């Protein structure tokens, strides 16, 4: 029987594959189904067909798999955009480990290393310390929320299960005030209307920064009045900005952020190092788990006290500063100038002296450093695309004996360890870390040593 688009079929889900979708077979033809769980027996609707596989969406759960949460919800929107929200937490951890194992064997061509169990997050929901929600209308009411899958249509939820409780409280109250005063919402097609996005950042001290992003080149009087009233109503708000963005763009934040009231930055603390977070700062989303991630990475270094360590792709140098508490010397290398400047300021404020911040391309700076200093180890924490082969080959030529690799993308991690293996590095240890519960995203930490 040949499948057709929009056809509804009964399907049993066999397993979860890398990326988080369930896989079932219809007459030996592979069908991928988001939001499905192994053991589910489902009625699904075919939405696309290729030569060797198809994709489908759940129409009805006939028999739920044992690992499915009890609520009978079936869509991406039902779970507020959380593509692992349909799984109980123990199963989320199990499948994240399996996905890491799969890419290390398949892409990394490594069948010897044992993947450790996934490091669970101490907080399973309401862990995000930063959210940006777009504005829209629903039946004449101003709403914020998420974009529906593969669209720019916004859907609203009562309480965002990933946003911090304080963040939810702030957004809820802001919408009450905006609806009361009937502020206009930005329309992408006409480039008219005021409200574009709201960003709320919170910290572990239960304080908030609010950034209202508007389609304007100046702060409107009515907007200022509403935001000052919001700050008066919610005492935990320590900082309020208006971000001016009057360009036709999908980028949320504007080029100019105007401090309206309160503190310039929001404070945060990791491993007794104090950070100042501004509207544009990069900072880890799940702070309690970030502490555990960094502790894990540092624990993988051997004899750290006597080592000169390079923190490559360092961002603002967070992990480098934490490393510097134990290491002999740390060199923090980052190409983004503003991040390097933030790192230097943080180190100065915290009295950290055995770290040197270097702004430049990792390849060039590594070559200079290894000529002038004996470098014992390097810690890599690159963006999702991983590290280009040229950089990996440069690192391998510098006789650095130990690499600790933190990755937010297991498939590029696996690709990179395979390249390093050809250059004489063996992967000794690998552990998945659950930075983002309720989603299929996985962080990985690995230790490689040169043979």
pLDDT value at position 74?
86
Tell me which fold the domain 93-122+282-450 belongs to: Rossmann fold (3.40.50)
Q: What is the pTM of this model?
A: 0.91
- CATH number for the domain running over 130-270: 2.40.50.1070
What pLDDT does residue 71 have? 74
pLDDT in the model for residue 317: 93
Q: Which CATH number fits domain 8-74: 3.40.250.10, 2.40.50.140, 3.20.20.240, 3.20.20.450?
A: 2.40.50.140
Please state, in angstroms and rounded to a whole number, the distance separating the CA atoms of residues 25 and 239. Answer: 53
Beta bridge mates, 256: 244
- pLDDT number for residue 151: 74
pLDDT tens for the chain, 451 residues: list them.
689 999 999 999 999 999 899 999 999 999 999 999 999 999 999 999 999 999 999 999 999 999 999 877 888 888 888 899 999 999 999 999 999 999 999 999 999 999 999 999 999 999 999 999 999 999 999 999 988 777 778 888 878 899 999 999 999 999 999 999 999 999 999 999 999 999 999 999 999 999 999 999 999 999 999 999 999 999 999 999 999 999 999 899 999 999 999 999 999 999 999 999 999 888 899 999 999 999 999 999 988 998 999 999 998 899 999 999 999 999 999 999 988 998 999 999 999 999 999 999 988 898 898 888 889 999 999 988 999 998 899 889 888 999 999 999 999 999 999 999 999 999 999 999 999 999 999 999 999 999 8
Q: What are phi and psi of 43, to 5 degrees?
A: -95, 120
Domains 8-74 and 93-122+282-450 fall in the same CATH topology: no
Predicted local confidence at residue 79, as pLDDT: 85
From the candidates 42, 214, 369, 408, which is the catalytic residue? 408
Which sequence spans correspond to the domains of the chain? Answer: 8-74, 93-122+282-450, 130-270
pLDDT score, position 118: 98
Say how many C-beta atoms besides its own lie within 10 A of residue 226's C-beta: 17
* Measured distance CA(50)–CA(148) in Å, rounded: 24
408 tagged catalytic: yes
HEC sequence for the chain: CCCCCCCEEEEEEEEECCCCCEEEEECCEEEEECCCCCCCEEEEEEEEECCCEEEEEEEEEEECCCCECCCCCCCCCCCCCCCCCCECHHHHHHHHHHHHHHHHHHCCCCCCCCECCCECCCCCCCCECEEEEEEEEECCEEEECEECCCCCCEECCCCCCCECHHHHHHHHHHHHHHHHCCCCECECCCCECCEEEEEEEECCCCCEEEEEEECCCCCCHHHHHHHHHHHHHCCCEEEEEEEECCCCCCCCCCCEEEEEEECCCEEEEECCEEEEECCCCCCCCCHHHHHHHHHHHHHCCCCHHHCEEEEECCCCCHHHHHHCCCCCEEEEEECCHHHHHHHHHHHHHCCCCCEEEEECCHHHHHHHHHHHCCCCEEEECCCCCCCCHHHHHHHHHCCCCEEEEEECCHHHHHHHHHHHHHCCEEEEEEEEECCCCCCCCCEEEEEEEEC
């Amino acid at each position: 029987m040949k499948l057709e688009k929009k056809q509804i079929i009964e399907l049993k889900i066999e397993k979860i594959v890398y990326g988080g979708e369930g896989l079932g077979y219809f007459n030996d033809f592979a069908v991928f189904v988001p939001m499905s769980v192994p053991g589910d027996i489902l009625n699904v609707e075919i939405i696309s067909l290729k030569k060797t596989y198809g994709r489908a969406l759940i129409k009805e759960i006939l028999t739920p798999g044992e690992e499915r949460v009890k609520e009978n919800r079936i869509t991406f929107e039902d779970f507020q955009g959380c593509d692992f929200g349909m799984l109980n937490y123990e199963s989320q951890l199990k499948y994240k480990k399996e996905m890491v194992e799969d890419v290390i064997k398949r892409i990394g061509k490594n069948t010897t290393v044992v993947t450790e169990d996934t490091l669970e997050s101490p907080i399973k929901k309401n862990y995000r310390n930063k959210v940006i929600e777009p504005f829209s209308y629903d039946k004449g009411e101003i709403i914020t929320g998420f974009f529906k899958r593969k669209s720019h249509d916004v859907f609203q939820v009562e309480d965002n299960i990933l946003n911090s409780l304080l963040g939810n409280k702030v957004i809820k109250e802001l919408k009450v005030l905006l609806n009361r005063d009937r502020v206009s919402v930005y329309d992408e097609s006409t480039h008219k209307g005021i409200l574009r996005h709201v960003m709320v950042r919170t910290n572990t001290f239960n304080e908030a920064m609010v950034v209202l992003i508007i389609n304007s080149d100046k702060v409107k009087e009515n907007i200022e009045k509403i935001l000052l009233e919001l700050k008066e109503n919610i005492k935990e708000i320590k900082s309020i900005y208006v971000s001016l963005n009057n360009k036709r763009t999908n980028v949320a934040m504007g080029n100019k952020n105007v401090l309206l009231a309160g503190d310039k930055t929001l404070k945060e603390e990791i491993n007794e190092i104090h950070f100042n977070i501004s509207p544009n700062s990069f900072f880890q989303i799940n702070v309690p788990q970030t502490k555990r991630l960094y502790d894990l990475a540092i624990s993988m270094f051997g004899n750290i006290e006597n080592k000169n360590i390079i923190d490559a792709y360092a961002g603002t140098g967070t992990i480098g500063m934490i490393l510097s508490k134990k290491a002999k010397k740390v060199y923090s290398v980052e190409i983004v100038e503003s991040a390097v400047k933030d790192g230097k300021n943080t180190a100065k404020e915290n009295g950290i002296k055995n770290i040197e911040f270097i702004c430049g391309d990792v390849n060039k700076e590594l070559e200079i450093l290894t000529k002038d200093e004996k470098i014992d180890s390097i810690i890599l924490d690159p963006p999702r695309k991983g590290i280009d082969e040229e950089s990996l080959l440069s690192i391998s030529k510098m006789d650095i004996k130990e690499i600790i690799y933190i990755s937010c993308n297991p498939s590029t991690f696996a690709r990179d360890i395979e390249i390093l293996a050809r250059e004489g590095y063996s992967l000794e240890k690998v552990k998945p870390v659950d930075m983002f519960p309720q989603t299929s995203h996985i962080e990985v930490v690995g230790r490689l040593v040169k043979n």
